[in-house]
Structure 1
Amino acid sequence: MALTLPAHPDPVHDEILGSGLLQDLSYAFGAPFHFLRPERFDANLAAFRAALTEAGVEGRVYFAKKANKAAAFIERCAATGTGVDVASHGELREALGHGVRGEDLVVTGPAKAGQLLRVAALQGALIAVDSPDELERILRLDSPRPVRILLRRHPPAQPNSRFGLDDAHLDAALLRCADAGDRIRMEGFSFHLSGYAVQPRADLAGELVDLCVKARNLGLPADRISIGGGFAVDYAGAGDWQAFLAAQGPADYHAGKTFAAGDFYPYHSPVAGADALRAVLAARPHGVGGPLAARLREAGVTLLLEPGRALLDGAGSSVFRVQGVKDRQGVKDRAGYGIVTVDGTSLSLSEQWFNSEYLPDPVLLTAGRADDGLPGRAAGDGDAQPYRACVGGASCLDSDLLTWRKIAFPVRPLAGDLLVYPNTAGYQMDSNESPFHDLPLPAKVVLQQEDGRLRWRLDHRPAC
């Protein structure tokens, strides 16, 4: 029996798939494309803000721009006064070009380029300082205003991380900031942890609150901390996820490819999105004293967070067109499987490039067709057999597979059918895309319900 991992039901997504619009868009653009749903971004943002309000915590949400390059989401940030987390001069320029104010930007990443530091300082952005060297370069900037900074803490629980300042560097940096006068405005501390565990985030956040108190004793403002991202997305149900992990093995994948359970993103998370933030705020740092929310209130510390994937949950999907189908073990061998080749590459499903697999089941959209005698072919035929197939890209690389798993499609796909990978907006749809083989980059199409009808427009970026 073929492995399956159905995504959570989404009636609006199903309505889009059944509308016929995706076939029209595929005809118009030819190449693969992504469709975006900004209303889901708005809903996710509102949920994070509600979690802060419920906890009585002063807080600020910054959208981690690296999670998706689309202009539509930055436009929503500008319209709602939401902050944006950028890590390059290009990302900063894009955010400013769409109306996000400089003071609403936080600049992260290691060893930032001089141009990025200069423009960030001029625009009044908040800069997370990753090293003593970076602090010295900031102090040498010719800025007309104090440069706003956070000091990024190296996570003691993840000693192999290459990011952040350890204890000795933090102590030296605090003294350097105190001596810098009005060249620097040291507003607090930040960290980013790998993984999605709640308690380690609460533990380190509690330590950063204590660091704020220490910094204030040196005369520094230090009134905010950033706990970064790491809020999981719940893609699938608990039972489906556990059954998948228990059953999957080399026979389920093309070429007998192997994946350990730890290679996969946790496609089910019992605490995800804004609920994960609620859990962090309710946790007691290191199991001592009151919850983190109370610690923040008592110390007068504002909580900053930088979710990316979690703000994009349900906010977009990726559409590929079938170019051809190859039967792996002969047309009449129903125990075999096929290779479906689509008109794009695995560069548009970024999980494939991290020795992993994007696991939520793709949906096959077929047109009406008559049975031609091939197994599993007849659409609408109650006796049609499922057709197991992996999904390959259009490049000349053997490793270019969008899905190594042998999916049980309800019928044998045909050239011209569409495959829709659900919920790909967060980190999947454009992190690694390139015009390999001179294939065009997939278009991004913004879908919105207006006056009872589904409307679309191309996503656009400013010419600056």
Structure 2
Amino acid sequence: MALTLPVHPDPLADRLHSGGLLTELAHGLGGPFHYLLPHRFDANLAAFHAALADAGVRGRVYYAKKANKAGVFTERCAALGAGVDVASLGELRAALGQGVRGEDLVVTGPSKSPELLRVAARQGALIAVDALDELDRVLTPPRTRPPRVLLRVHPPSQPDSRFGLDEEDLEAALRDCAEAGDRIRMEGFSFHLSGYDPQQRTDLAGELVERCVKARARGLRADRISIGGGFAVDYVPAGPWTDFLDRQNPGDYHGGKTFTKNDFYPYHSPVAGADALAAVLSGRPAGRHASLAELLRQAGVTLLIEPGRALLDRAGSSVFTVQGVKDREGYGIVTVDGTSLSLSEQWFASEYLPDPQLIPAHAPVPVPARASARPAAPEPYRACVGGASCLDSDLLTWRKITFPVRPRVGDLIVYPNTAGYQMDSNESPFHELPLPPKVVIDHPDDTPRPRWRLDR
């Protein structure tokens, strides 16, 4: 029995995929493309705001811009009063150009360039300071306005993390901030955690609330903490995910490629998105007798979060056209008109696992049968999906996907839910192939025929 990983039902996606719009776009654009659904982003953002409100917590949501380069999502932040998390001068300039105010930006990332620090301070952005020499660079030049900073704390639960200030450096940073007086606004603390464990975030957030209280005794403002992102996305149902992890083996992949369970993103998560934030807030930090939400309220501390993937859940998909199909023993190799650089999970030596959907350009060809009988129904066809480059490793999907019929030249293959970190994190015009354009589909639920435009 073939392994399948169908995504959760999505009637809107079904309507888009069956209505002919994607086929027309593929023809008109002449190559692969990504489509974006900004109204889904709006709904995800509203869910995070609701989780904060339900917990009675003062908070801000900053969209992690690195999750997708499209301008439309940053524009939605500007329209809806959300902040944006940037980590480079290019991202900062883009966010400003897309209507986000400087004071609504938080600047993260390690060892920020002097140019990034200069522009961030001038625009009133909140800067997450990751090291003592970075704090020196923030403090050294004369500023027209005091820079706003958070001190990023090294996470004790992840001692190998390269991010954050350890206890000794943190003490030195607090001393420097206190001595700087009005030359700096030390507004609190932040952390970066890998993984998706809500309790780890609850525990470390509880420590940061305490640090805020102690920092105030030194004359510092310290009235907010940032817990970053790490809110999982639930791509597929629990049953297929468990079945896949239990049964997958090298025979399921082209070339006998081997993956372990730990190589994959957790495509099923029982607590995901805004529900994961609710779990963080309702959890009780280790050694405390109150929930994190209660601790935040008691201390008057504002919670900042920086979701990326979770704000982009079901907000976009990637579309490729079949260029050729070749048969191998027991399976086939489908080649499409793009490359694996547009499915960035390959960047992590992993695999994007949710099943892609085949959209035939023509009616399936029936399988010939005996002259006296009706033609047999088309048979399922197992195939991996390769890119159009000359690299043997350029596979969008190493797994042998079970398509309902043998794909044909001109058919479309749609990879679902790729807006978060997949569609453009490491795209490249390799072979002089153009980057797939992004198509914005506005309010598809409100019109008989969806309207589209190119992302700016």
Q: How far apart are the structure 1 equivalents of 2:143 and 2:251?
A: 61
* Structure-2 change in CA distance of 1:409 and 1:381 (3 Å): farther
The one-letter amino acid of 1:305's match is: I
Contact 2:367 2:375 in 1 (8 A): no
- Which amino acid counterpart does residue 111 of structure 1 have in structure 2? S
Cα separation, partners in 2 of 1:374 and 1:278, compared to 1, 3 Å: farther
Q: Distance in 2 between matches of 1:382 and 1:47?
A: 48
Query: Conserved in 1, the CA contact under 8 Å of 2:367 and 2:378?
Result: no
Select which of 430, 436, 445 maps to 1:436: 430
Instruction: Compute the displacement of 1:367 (Å).
Output: 2.5
1:423 lines up with 2:408 in the alignment: no
The residue that corresponds to 2:333 in the other structure is: 339
The total of aligned residue pairs comes to 450
Equivalent residue, structure 2, for 1:459: 455
Is the Cα contact below 8 Å between 2:344 and 2:421 reproduced in 1?
Answer: yes
Give the distance between the partners of 2:376 and 2:263, measured in 1 at CA.
37
Cα 1:201–1:13 shift into 2, 3 Å: same
Q: Does residue 379 of structure 2 align to residue 388 of structure 1?
A: no
* Corresponding residue SS for 1:235: coil
4+ residue segments displaced more than 2 Å: 367-375, 380-383, 449-453
Could you tell me which residue of structure 2 aligns to residue 332 of structure 1? none
Amino acid at match of 1:354: F
Structure 1 Cα separation of the partners of residues 303 and 221 of structure 2: 15
Deviation at 1:192, TM superposition (A): 1.1
- Counterpart AA for 1:155: P
Give the Å deviation of 1:143. 1.4
1:350 — aligned with what?
Answer: 344
3-state SS of 1:405 partner: strand
Unpaired runs of 5+ residues, structure 1, are 330-335
What is the aligned-residue identity percentage? 72
Match runs of 1:43-54 below 5 Å: 43-54=43-54
Q: Do structure 1's residue 285 and structure 2's residue 313 form an aligned pair?
A: no
- Partner SS state of residue 53, structure 2: helix
Give the aligned partner of residue 408 of structure 1. Answer: 402
**Which residue of structure 2 aligns with residue 71 of structure 1?**
71
1:50 and 1:435 map into 2 onto residues whose CA distance is 40
- Alpha-carbon shift at residue 436 of structure 1 (Å): 0.3
Residue 205 (structure 1) aligns with: 205
Structure-2 residue corresponding to 1:99: 99
* CA positional deviation for 1:373: 5.1
- Classify 1:253/1:138 alpha carbon distance in 2 versus 1 (closer, same or farther; 3 Å): same
Aligned to 2:15: 15
1:40 aligns with 2:40: yes
SS in 2 for 1:326: strand
The one-letter amino acid paired with 1:453 is R
Distance in 1 between the 2:199 and 2:292 partners? 10
Counterpart amino acid of residue 348 in structure 1: S
**Residue 12 and residue 372 in structure 1: after superposition, are their counterparts in 2 closer, same or farther (change >3 A)?**
closer
1:370 Cα shift?
5.8
Shift of 1:3: 1.0
**1:292, 1:280 → 2: CA distance?**
7
Instruction: Tell me how far apart the structure 1 counterparts of residues 353 and 364 of structure 2 sit (CA, whole Å).
Output: 31
Report the AA paired with residue 12 of structure 2: V
Cα distance in 1 for residues equivalent to 2:364 and 2:163: 59
What is the distance in 1 between the residues matched to 2:236 and 2:312? 15
Partner in structure 2 of residue 333 of structure 1: none
**Following the alignment from structure 1 to structure 2, what is the Cα–Cα distance between the partners of residues 345 and 236?**
24
1:182 equivalent in structure 2: 182
Q: How much has 1:438 moved relative to structure 2?
A: 0.4
Amino acid in the other structure paired with 1:159: P
What do the CA deviations read for 1:89-147 (whole angstroms, capped 9, x no partner)? Answer: 00000000011000000000000011100000000000000000000000012311110
RMSD: 1.3
1:352 Cα deviation after fit? 1.4
Equivalent position of 2:261 in the other structure: 261
Report the CA distance between 1:453 and its aligned residue. 3.0
Residue matched to 2:235: 235
What SS is found at the alignment partner of 1:6? coil
Query: 1:399 Cα deviation (Å)?
Result: 0.6
Aligned mate of 2:392, from 398, 419, 425: 398
Supply the distance in 2 between the matched residues of 1:161 and 1:302 (Cα, whole angstroms): 25
One-letter amino acid of the structure 2 residue matched with residue 365 of structure 1? I
Residues 415, 135 of structure 1: CA spacing in aligned structure 2 closer, same or farther, 3 A cutoff? same
